[in-house]
């Protein structure tokens, strides 16, 4: 099993929805499900973050308005046909092989298939797809055809299809999904375009597409059939590729997606056309895209060693980052509960950020801050909602979308009974507690509390303080729902809501204490003394109930009936099952997911007992373990978040059970443990929660205002855990095993904010490797000598970072060198550092000697005039059949500024190789001038065996050759 690849072999119509969701590609701005570009069944979905629309439907005789994330026009459709045959469809083709591979490291989806048509012709088709992480408006799909036993024309049809609707969730299909209207299609300079608008939010979306066939484009009047053909709601173009037996032929579809919400555009259509015109060929897009993902993985990497769980961990990071990438930081969007992977929960923002942002804040603080901005921009709406409900401060909605109003539907469908039922989940006021918790976590991770963040936390505190009403000698919060979600009212009650949910009340006490701390950090927003005094009083006298020696989930919970769990064994959604049986889950001690135990998820044991004691409730010995066991036995785990929370709270009580819940959460989407929900979109909160569980629970990483602490307790089956984090603007490497925890490779359990860390340099790792290999030492040997972990040494070798001073001196000793040399104090001096020789002599070299000197290949420099002025770049080169060959990146300076000889233009460039021996003060230099050409596909076979590798590493598939026209050389001698 490859740790970096998800593989799906064979065509499985029943599993296509799940595969589509898990093969979604995105860049934080938009994402496209992994639907096939042809055939059925397919559930195409392209979603732009924050693009919502409202429609009104009639449900159970009532007009109901719902806001949904909009399924935008489908850019994927592309099909093909062999001579005289119908368009290819996998569900009716004679498939000889069929395979999807999702490359998690590089964000590329590959479909590889072979099929035999009715005439016995066997064709292989390989498709590579990306949604660019480097250029967030672009996506592309490359299709390569190889006729294995025939030659002839292959017809290809590429389409942009606006005839889509929101149909991705079966239980929503009785509701309207026709969010797009006003479709228009056309072509411009052989580029296809399509526009449409959302019906009520009036967002205009545009797609533009370019088709590259890997050969020079003929003149338009010589390309009948290649021009796009506009039709109502869609536009397509037909192409013919001449296939020769055994020789691949490629067609690429490059697409730009823009909307009227984008910055720096005049209109979406012209912007999309501009993006697609300027886009480089597929290899150029791929190179930039892969480089962007490489940078992301450097920040987001979380290493569990060679453990078999590594693949799932990588998948969770991948889906989290492509939903909430650095591109997201500039957008006005929150955390969609199902990512940008499907239409479940209508793309709404719930409290899932609680499980996501603590992980983001330590790696992508700019994204974490952007998500808090989403909430802050909706603060006026939250304030208005609080006032309307008779409260102070800000009351945030349980489900949020475009403008921050409450988007929780008034009715929901029970698919087991077919009945539409009232939905009271908007009473989950604790969403505000999640927002405040994330503000505080962001502060602990970054050391920054912007004024507007303080404003957000303080207004949420005002709301919860106003919810608390004095009854006797205790403050009570009534009329709410807890995270459990099953219990929305007391049995037989006419009015929904519960009193004194323990999670809500205890976290309110926590919030009011943090509000006082926040007021000290933002003195301009400091509340009046009487308000602070009331907050302090409420935080000391909120009511918490107990029964049977455990914390009660809410007042009266202990009086509920016990459920016949044997009868409902394995049923995750008890609320639906009981309602279908004519019963009510409110009557029973049964939870969908963790509720009271959420306190143990957000707070350390010390914090929780401290809060309870501050509230005046002496904590008896064993209270927390008893409470954990009590509710674990009464939970159906109807949410993927439940496994995350229970894995966390059991980590120090029952390690075996903790591991079982952790692995369930880790595979909840990959294995679709809830039976069909993954196809509607991945569970982003569970994915973020598993990653946060690894770092803050198993690694025991605690953030405090004065620094961080480590208290690891790794599960027995997990041998090592390592990761880079960004703490208070500094990069740290944290790793641990069963013996010790380490910060920057050194055994320790604390790190104080402000400790000195040396400035990073990308050359340091290269020098470490050079010194280590020179001595013939392994990483483990050097790490042992330097008293640091091998994982940290690997991190230093592979990332542009530097250790602290102590570690630097230990490394120098271990490598038998000096700190100066490791820092580059001599290794990287430019040539000519020494004094000039006294009596130099110059010797001219003839052409034969010049070619002899450069024939071994190596490193040279090319110089040319670019659009940015004179440019000089280093390259690895080979002299191949008298021609200089090197590789560079598609879309790079050479690709952009050197015009191919195919276009009839020769650009003369200079190429220089030199060798300088400063010790003997002599050397030579060879200068070659000649015409530079891109190596064409026909010439590729000729140069592919040259063995040249790129200077900068990576794929860099663009070959360039220089045909020498002038060669000159000089040798200098010292006397």
**Residues belonging to the active site:** 485
Which of 177, 34, 201 has its CA nearest to residue 111? 34
Q: Is the peptide bond before 41 cis (omega within 30 degrees of 0)?
A: yes
CA distances from 572 to 370, 424, 603, 750, 765 (A): 35, 20, 27, 41, 50
Cα 432 from chain centre: 25
Q: Taking a C-beta distance cutoff of 8 angstroms, is the pair 911, 922 a contact?
A: no
CA distances from 879 to 172, 565, 882 (A): 64, 76, 6
Task: State how beta strands 858-866 and 234-243 pair.
Answer: unpaired
Burial class (CB in 10 A: 0-12, 13-18, 19+), 932: buried
Give the separation between CA 538 and CA 474, rounded to whole angstroms.
Answer: 8
List, as one string, the DSSP characters of 308-356.
TTHHHHHHHHHHHHHHS-GGGGGSS---BTTTTS--GGGG-B-STHHHH
Q: Taking a C-beta distance cutoff of 8 angstroms, is the pair 807, 746 a contact?
A: yes
Q: What is the dihedral of CA 488, 489, 494, 495, to 10 degrees?
A: -70
CA distances from 268 to 138, 203, 278, 791 (A): 13, 10, 15, 47
Q: Taking a C-beta distance cutoff of 8 angstroms, is the pair 109, 94 a contact?
A: no
Phi, psi values for residue 892, rounded to 5° = -80, -175
**CA angle, residues 312, 318, 320, in degrees to nearest 5:** 105
Q: Within 13 Å and on the Cβ side, how many CA atoms surround 391?
A: 24
| Eight-state DSSP code of residue 170 | G
List, as one string, the DSSP characters of 61-119.
TEEEEEEEE--PPB---EEEE-TT-PPP-GGGSEEEEEEEEEETTTTEEEEEEEEE-TT
Q: Taking a C-beta distance cutoff of 8 angstroms, is the pair 440, 519 a contact?
A: no
> What is the sign of the dihedral through the CA atoms of 565, 568, 572 and 573?
negative
Give the number of residues written for the chain. Answer: 975
Burial class (CB in 10 A: 0-12, 13-18, 19+), 971: middle
Q: Is 943 helix (H, G, I), strand (E, B) or coil?
A: helix
List, as one string, the DSSP characters of 732-777.
EEEEEESS-EEETTEE-SEEETT---PPP-THHHHHHHHHHHHHT-
Residue with tokens 């007042």: 555
Q: Is 132 helix (H, G, I), strand (E, B) or coil?
A: coil
| Eight-state DSSP code of residue 151 | -
* Interior/surface letters 573-605, b for 16+ CB within 10 angstroms, e for the rest: bbbbbbbeeeeebbebbbbbbbbbbbbbbbbee
Give the separation between CA 307 and CA 714, rounded to whole angstroms.
Answer: 13
Tokens read off for 82: 């062999």
N-term to C-term CA, the chain: 63
E strand or H helix that includes residue 373: helix 365-377
């Amino acid at each position: 099993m490859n740790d970096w690849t998800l593989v799906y072999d064979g065509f499985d119509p029943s599993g296509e929805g799940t595969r589509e969701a898990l093969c979604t590609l995105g860049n934080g701005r938009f994402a496209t499900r992994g639907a096939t570009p042809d055939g059925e069944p397919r559930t195409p979905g392209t979603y732009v973050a924050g693009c919502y629309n409202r429609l009104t439907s009639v449900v159970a005789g009532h007009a109901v308005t719902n806001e949904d994330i909009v399924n935008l026009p489908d850019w994927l459709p592309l099909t093909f046909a062999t001579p005289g045959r119908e368009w290819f469809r996998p569900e009716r083709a004679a498939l000889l092989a069929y395979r999807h591979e999702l490359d998690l490291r590089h964000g590329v989806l590959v479909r590889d298939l072979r099929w035999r048509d009715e005439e016995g012709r066997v064709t292989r088709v390989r498709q590579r797809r990306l949604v660019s992480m480097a250029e967030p408006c672009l996506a592309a799909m490359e299709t390569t055809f190889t006729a294995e036993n025939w030659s002839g024309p292959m017809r290809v049809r590429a389409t942009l299809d606006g005839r889509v609707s929101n149909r991705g969730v079966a239980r929503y299909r009785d509701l309207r999904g026709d969010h797009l209207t006003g479709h228009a299609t056309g072509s411009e300079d052989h580029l296809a375009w399509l526009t449409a608008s959302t019906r009520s939010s009036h967002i205009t979306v545009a797609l533009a597409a370019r088709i590259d066939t890997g050969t020079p484009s003929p003149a338009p009047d010589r390309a009948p059939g290649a021009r796009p053909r506009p039709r109502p709601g869609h536009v397509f173009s037909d192409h013919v590729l001449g296939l020769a037996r055994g020789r691949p032929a490629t067609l690429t579809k490059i697409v730009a997606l823009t909307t009227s919400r984008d910055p720096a555009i005049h209109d979406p259509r012209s912007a999309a056309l501009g993006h697609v015109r300027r886009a480089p060929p597929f290899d150029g897009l791929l190179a930039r895209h892969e480089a962007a993902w490489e940078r992301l993985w450097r920040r987001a990497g979380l290493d569990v060693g060679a453990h078999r769980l590594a693949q799932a961990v990588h998948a969770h990071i991948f889906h989290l980052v492509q939903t909430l990438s650095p591109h997201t930081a500039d957008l006005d969007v929150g955390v969609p509960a199902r990512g940008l992977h499907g239409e479940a929960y209508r793309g709404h923002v719930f409290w899932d950020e609680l499980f996501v942002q603590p992980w983001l804040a330590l790696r992508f603080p700019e994204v974490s801050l952007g998500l808090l901005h989403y909430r802050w921009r909706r603060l006026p709406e939250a304030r208005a909602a609080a006032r309307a409900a008779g409260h102070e401060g800000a009351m945030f909605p349980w489900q949020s979308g475009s403008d921050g109003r409450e988007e929780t539907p008034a009715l929901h469908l029970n698919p087991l009974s077919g009945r539409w039922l009232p939905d009271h989940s908007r009473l989950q006021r604790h969403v505000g507690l999640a927002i405040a918790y994330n503000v505080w976590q962001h502060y602990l991770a970054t050391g920054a509390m912007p004024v507007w963040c303080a404003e957000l936390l303080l207004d949420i505190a005002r709301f919860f303080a106003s919810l608390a009403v004095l009854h006797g000698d205790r403050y009570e919060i009534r009329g709410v729902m807890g995270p459990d979600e099953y219990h929305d009212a007391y049995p037989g009650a006419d009015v929904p809501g519960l009193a004194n949910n323990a999670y809500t009340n205890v976290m309110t006490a926590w919030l009011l204490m943090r509000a006082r701390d926040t007021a000290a950090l933002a003195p301009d927003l400091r509340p009046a003394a009487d308000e602070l005094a009331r907050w302090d009083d409420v935080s000391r006298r909120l009511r918490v109930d107990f029964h049977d020696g455990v914390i009660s989930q809410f007042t009266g919970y202990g009086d509920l009936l016990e459920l016949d769990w044997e009868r409902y064994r394995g049923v995750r959604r008890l609320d639906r099952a009981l309602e279908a049986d004519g019963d009510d889950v409110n009557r029973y001690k049964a939870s969908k997911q963790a509720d009271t135990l959420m306190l143990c998820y957000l707070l350390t044991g010390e914090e929780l007992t401290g809060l309870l004691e501050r509230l005046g409730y002496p904590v008896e010995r064993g209270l927390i373990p008893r409470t954990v066991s009590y509710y674990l036995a009464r939970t159906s785990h109807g949410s993927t978040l439940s496994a995350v929370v229970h894995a966390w709270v059991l980590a120090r009580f029952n390690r075996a059970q903790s591991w079982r819940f952790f692995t369930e959460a880790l595979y909840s989407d990959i294995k679709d443990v809830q039976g069909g929900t993954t196809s509607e979109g991945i569970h982003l909160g569970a994915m973020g929660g598993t990653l946060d569980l690894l770092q803050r629970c198993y690694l025991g990483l605690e953030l405090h205002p004065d620094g961080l602490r480590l208290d690891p307790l790794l599960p027995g089956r997990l041998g090592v855990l390592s990761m880079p984090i960004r703490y208070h603007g500094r990069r740290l490497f944290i790793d641990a095993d069963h013996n010790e925890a380490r910060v920057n490779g050194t055994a320790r359990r604390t790190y104080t904010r402000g400790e000195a860390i040396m400035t990073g340099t990308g050359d340091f790792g290269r020098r470490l490797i050079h010194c280590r290999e020179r001595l013939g030492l392994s990483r483990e040997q050097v790490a042992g000598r330097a008293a640091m972990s091998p994982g940290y040494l690997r991190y230093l070798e592979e990332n542009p970072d530097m250790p602290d001073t102590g570690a630097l001196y230990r490394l120098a000793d271990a490598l038998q060198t000096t700190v100066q040399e490791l820092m580059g104090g001599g290794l990287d001096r430019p040539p000519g550092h020494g004094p000039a020789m006294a009596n130099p002599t110059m010797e001219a070299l003839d052409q034969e000697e010049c070619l002899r000197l450069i024939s071994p290949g190596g490193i040279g420099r090319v110089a040319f005039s670019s659009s940015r002025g004179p440019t000089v770049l280093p390259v690895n080169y080979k002299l191949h059949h008298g021609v200089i060959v090197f590789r560079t990146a598609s879309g790079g300076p050479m690709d952009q500024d050197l015009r191919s000889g195919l276009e009839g233009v020769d650009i003369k460039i200079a190429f220089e190789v030199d060798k300088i021996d400063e010790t003997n003060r002599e050397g030579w230099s060879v200068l070659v001038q000649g015409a530079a050409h891109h190596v064409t596909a026909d010439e590729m076979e000729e140069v592919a065996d040259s063995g040249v590798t790129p200077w900068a590493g990576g794929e860099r598939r663009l070959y360039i050759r220089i045909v020498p026209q002038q060669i000159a050389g000089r040798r200098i001698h010292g006397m």
